Amino acid sequence: MTDLTIRPITDEEYPAFVKAFMDGFAEDIPADDFPSYIRTNLPPELTLAAFDGDDIVGTFGGLDLTLTVPGGAQVPMEGTTVVTVFPTHRRMGLMKRMMHMHLDNAVEAGKPLAGLWASESGIYERFGYGIATYCDAIKMDGRKVAFRDEIEVDRVRRIPVEGASEILGPIYDERQRETPGMWARSDGWWYDILADLDWMKNGRTKLRIVVHDGPDGPDGYALYRQKGGDSDDWHDNGTVHVLEVIANTPRATASLWSYLTNIDLSPNVKYNNFPVDDDLGPMLKEGRRIQRVFKHEALYVRILDVIAALEARTYQHDGEILIGLKDSFRPHTAGTYRLTSEGGVGRCAEVDETPDVTMDVEVLGAIYLGGPGAFGYAAASRIQGAPEAIDRLNRLFRTAREPWCNWVF
């Protein structure tokens, strides 16, 4: 233990850092250019590594992100990523030490939130992260998908990857600004998403992009790849692997999905990050043609500054509640907070009073974006309080639409 140190890596150590976290995720480095690709959004100064002598035995990354919260405010968020500890160095407290440093760095940078996608869902609640958004993995047989007669569908157009971000960026930004759970994309992130390097294909085609043009310009797009396949009777039975669909009008939604379900030789359509309260199902003659394979957790949120976080979002009902917060990992975040909503604007202060409801900090993170309601957590004894107080909490935090985090980081 005396030789175990944790610090950001140097430029020279970056290849070893990438190799270490890829080992941790049971993968090899897929190509020589992979470290440069990762470095675009994760430079050395945003990393942490645990060293045993000169060897990296644990990794951590902190991404500089901006998250949309209910009401449209753009809140700085520390993205937690590439978290690994070698099996040889488990049960030595390395992850706990790296997490403390990671969250301390986020607070010092003025970020009221941290967020992540979990490779293993059982790890992060003990560090205060709660599951704030969900998504559906879906599949469809495009040959059986038919739109209702009143739904108008336009043609879409293919565009090349080169220069695509100039068209896609404004479409994405419009959706991101109004959707809690989505995060803003810099030029570096567009490079990451549209890079289309050989190792990204996994036996599929190059990246395809289609755009829908509305009366005022492009208002929707889809990213996808294809993979060929044959049926038992030798007919083509390929698959469209949808990576992202962003549509800002119902007509764009219908047009893009009509295209994706009518691609020759590829009747199978799969998408692993479909919004749980989608607009597509009601447009179809048979909504159950969208087969929801499973619902899975997406963005985890960790509240670091309770007052800043609760005052950043808006609320759809007026009211007041006293929230008793427990936080075993960062005890100074614990306390009782009075939240008051008037005209959608929240005001929050720490007080010395008896709380109406009590919960751990990960539960506050889970309900923060307006998704999972309070009643389920109360039934599981993870929120304590009188039924009236839990109902009031639920009315304050829930939003009309479910939050959605559309891309893994």
Output the six-digit token pair for 30.
């897929």
Q: What is the pLDDT of residue 215?
A: 96
* One domain for residues 330 and 247: no
User: Cα–Cα–Cα angle for 14, 161, 243, nearest 5°?
Assistant: 75
pTM here is 0.95
Instruction: Specify the CATH number for the domain of residue 386.
Output: 3.30.1050.10
* One domain for residues 321 and 207: no
Nearest alpha carbon to residue 67 among 177, 165, 149, 161: 177
Q: What is the pLDDT of residue 2?
A: 58
- Active site residues per annotation: 124, 409
Q: What is the pLDDT of residue 233?
A: 72
Q: What is the pLDDT of residue 300?
A: 98
* One domain for residues 9 and 77: yes
Nearest alpha carbon to residue 112 among 305, 325, 369: 305
Q: What is the pLDDT of residue 1?
A: 52
Range of the domain at 70: 4-111
* One domain for residues 141 and 240: yes
Residue at a domain's end among 261, 282, 297: 297
* One domain for residues 260 and 387: no
* One domain for residues 141 and 262: yes
Instruction: Specify the CATH number for the domain of residue 279.
Output: 3.40.630.30
Q: What is the pLDDT of residue 121?
A: 87
* One domain for residues 261 and 386: no
> How far apart are the C-alpha atoms of 369 and 24, rounded to whole Å?
31
Output the six-digit token pair for 307.
């007052």
If one counts the domains in the chain, the total is 3
From the CA atom positions of the chain, what is the Rg in Å? 23
> How far apart are the C-alpha atoms of 84 and 59, rounded to whole Å?
5
> Do the domain assignments include residue 384?
yes
Residue at a domain's end among 297, 320, 343: 297
* One domain for residues 264 and 311: no
Residue at a domain's end among 237, 262, 297: 297
Print pLDDT tens along the chain (409 aa).
557 999 999 999 999 999 999 999 999 999 999 999 999 999 999 999 999 999 999 999 999 999 999 999 999 999 999 999 999 999 999 999 999 999 999 999 999 999 999 998 889 999 999 999 999 999 999 999 999 999 999 999 999 999 999 999 999 999 999 999 999 999 999 999 999 999 999 999 999 999 999 999 999 999 999 999 877 777 789 999 999 999 999 999 999 999 999 999 999 999 999 999 999 999 999 999 999 999 999 999 999 999 999 999 999 999 999 999 999 999 999 999 999 999 999 999 999 999 999 999 999 999 999 999 999 999 999 999 999 999 999 999 999 999 999 999 9
